[in-house]
A and B are shown apart, each in its own frame.
Chain A
């Protein structure tokens, strides 16, 4: 069993409630942060821990905190990014649904560090029942004196607001999230200025992922040094991985960073291997945006080293032969899955979610979807593959926010590693039309269920 930090108490009955959570050491970090530490000490501990942003970019959290402008005297805000919408990612939901007080505790401790008196949890609108769970947890914490005026008699006051989104992947981008929080369309802002200087309502703001904030209590209780000893190299600590696709045991797992991918995918403790005894075809290791890797490059890096679940190991080889840890959305494809159809599906997703503000993303995502749709449905030309490559290149890096890049990478990596499959679709148009996910459309099971 690997080290558990976030999910240590997840199986204790009633951990969702305040009493049981408190009995298991909950809210100790708030007490320590208010009574024993100065805000700067908390930032220092988080810096020492090496904790990196768990939303996808992997930026060191302590460093992000230290950028926040405390000199101007303007109000500062902490905003928790709970707009989990990256296909393949469902880890924050698990954390908030089953151990909500961990996020609330993390929010309070982090707000103390940032000397902020108001925090927001921006949760995706579809998680309606989780919003209620969080509001319940906030009410319990307030009743127990961890929120509100003059907390623990220290003179420190803090309020938390749970703010629902309304269905927009783009609001996971931090400046789009802030726009949305201000009651506007979720159009990302030009940067600079960064939120740490000019964020919500024009005031200094830190935006952190749910999992990042939930890691703070442990760091404060046990020290940044202790946290930095967990994991491997610059990938310190543990990470939640949401595993899905053609595996035996889909679900959310906490792993110590540095776990070999082979063990994660095939051991009984985690994914339990490929479903129905099939072969592994490909893996998207960190949410739909990161490059897809074929089985051989997934298990071993180009240099022949076994790949590990860490920021560095997964990105070994750059985009030529590597990928990214991203948000931890781990999607597994068995031998029967169609990469062209999957790429088309992801393109449709980014087309649907593009905010439409800047031209490469607005026009390019739709164009890619249409070309891929043709290829998938047997109407493609050989030249379409090169055209796709050119379109994604013209989008990548040229947009206001990373959604453009995120739309380009899956297309680029699919062509890079599975070009023959695209060519097969052009050369075998009729068979391509029949083909579907897991070849379901050609099986009896599929059709018999449709006779009503």
Chain B
């Protein structure tokens, strides 16, 4: 399947460009390609949580790589989103240790509550629901990652509702 260009150019602020330069300079001379994963993380965070073709082309240009080298890497790792996502990407773990402690319940509950399926985004653009494999929080199941942090022990409807309300507030305040 081929990707479609959005034709929206990516503009990175001076600050972000400096941050990228700093990351690249950490690595030994001539090994700047090593910075590809961290740089993609930075650009994804800047680009509303996903990597468009333009964003990846920009990374290729900044790092003096061929675009295909960036596409190859970006499609390999599951943390890079190649389609737009909502303001809050709910990444719910569904691997064994979580699943035996209500992990599957958490997914079903979120589906009903948000009225979306896994992989979909709510109409207001606030939430995207995604299932992920083991995040290393097996003892604190069920859990999900949202942005930088983990939210653990989400075993009751009350806890999940509270969390979603908090996100809605945050989303509301920022808009």
Partners in one complex: yes
Q: Which residues of A contact B (CB under 8 A)?
A: 75, 84-90, 93, 118, 124-129, 161, 163-169, 180-186, 201, 242-246, 250-252, 288, 329, 331, 333, 337, 341-342, 345-346, 349, 352-353, 355, 436-438, 440, 446, 449-452
A126 touches B79 (CB 8 A): yes
B28 touches A349 (CB 8 A): no
A184 touches B133 (CB 8 A): no
A244-B97 contact, Cβ under 8 Å, with A183-B36, A449-B157: yes
Q: How far is the CA of A61 from the CA of B109 in the complex (A)?
A: 46
The residue from A161, A167, A252, A355 contacting B79, defined by CB atoms under 8 A apart: A167
B105 touches A449 (CB 8 A): yes
- A30 to nearest B CB, angstroms? 22
Contact partners of B112 in chain A: CB under 8 A = 450-452
- B72 to nearest A CB, angstroms? 6
Contact partners of B31 in chain A: CB under 8 A = 182, 201
A250 touches B140 (CB 8 A): yes
- B165 to nearest A CB, angstroms? 14
B78 touches A124 (CB 8 A): no
A87-B34 contact, Cβ under 8 Å, with A166-B80, A250-B140: no
A164 touches B28 (CB 8 A): no
Most interface-central of B31, B95, B157 (chain A CB within 10 A): B95
B37 touches A345 (CB 8 A): no
Residue of B nearest to A201 (CB): B31
Not counting A168-B78, A183-B37, A450-B112, a sample of 14 additional A-B residue pairs whose C-beta atoms are within 8 angstroms of each other reads A124-B136, A166-B77, A167-B80, A168-B77, A183-B73, A244-B141, A245-B138, A250-B140, A252-B139, A288-B95, A349-B133, A355-B76, A437-B99, A437-B100
- B150 to nearest A CB, angstroms? 8
A446 touches B76 (CB 8 A): no
Contact partners of A89 in chain B: CB under 8 A = 136, 138
- B92 to nearest A CB, angstroms? 13
Contact partners of A185 in chain B: CB under 8 A = 72-73, 76
B35 at the interface (CB under 8 A from A): yes
B116 at the interface (CB under 8 A from A): no
- A133 to nearest B CB, angstroms? 12
A450 touches B108 (CB 8 A): yes
Can you list 16 A-B contacts with CB-CB less than 8 angstroms, sorted by A residue number? A87-B97, A87-B134, A90-B137, A125-B77, A125-B79, A166-B80, A167-B78, A167-B79, A169-B134, A184-B73, A185-B73, A246-B101, A252-B139, A288-B96, A449-B109, A451-B112
Residue of B nearest to A85 (CB): B134
Prevailing SS type, chain B contact patch: helix
B126 at the interface (CB under 8 A from A): no
Contact partners of A186 in chain B: CB under 8 A = 76-77
Residue of B nearest to A164 (CB): B38
B90 at the interface (CB under 8 A from A): no
B149 touches A129 (CB 8 A): yes
Q: How far is the CA of A93 from the CA of B136 in the complex (A)?
A: 8
Contact partners of A86 in chain B: CB under 8 A = 134
B37 touches A169 (CB 8 A): no
Q: B24-51: which have CB < 8 Å to A?
A: 26-28, 31, 33-38, 40-41
Q: How far is the CA of A244 from the CA of B98 in the complex (A)?
A: 9
Contact partners of A250 in chain B: CB under 8 A = 138-140
- A105 to nearest B CB, angstroms? 21
Contact partners of B145 in chain A: CB under 8 A = 126
Most interface-central of A166, A329, A446, A450 (chain B CB within 10 A): A166
B113 at the interface (CB under 8 A from A): yes
Q: B99-147: which have CB < 8 Å to A?
A: 99-105, 108-109, 112-113, 132-141, 145
Q: How far is the CA of A183 from the CA of B94 in the complex (A)?
A: 28
Contact partners of A242 in chain B: CB under 8 A = 138-139
B34 touches A181 (CB 8 A): yes
Residue of A nearest to B41 (CB): A164
A251-B73 contact, Cβ under 8 Å, with A87-B95, A182-B33: no
Q: How far is the CA of A125 from the CA of B10 in the complex (A)?
A: 23
Q: How far is the CA of A252 from the CA of B135 in the complex (A)?
A: 15
- B80 to nearest A CB, angstroms? 6
Residue of A nearest to B139 (CB): A250
Q: How far is the CA of A246 from the CA of B33 in the complex (A)?
A: 44
A84 touches B136 (CB 8 A): yes
The residue from A93, A161, A446 contacting B27, defined by CB atoms under 8 A apart: A161
B148 at the interface (CB under 8 A from A): yes
- A243 to nearest B CB, angstroms? 6
B139 touches A251 (CB 8 A): yes
Q: How far is the CA of A174 from the CA of B79 in the complex (A)?
A: 20
Residue of A nearest to B40 (CB): A166
B138 touches A87 (CB 8 A): yes
A346 touches B96 (CB 8 A): yes
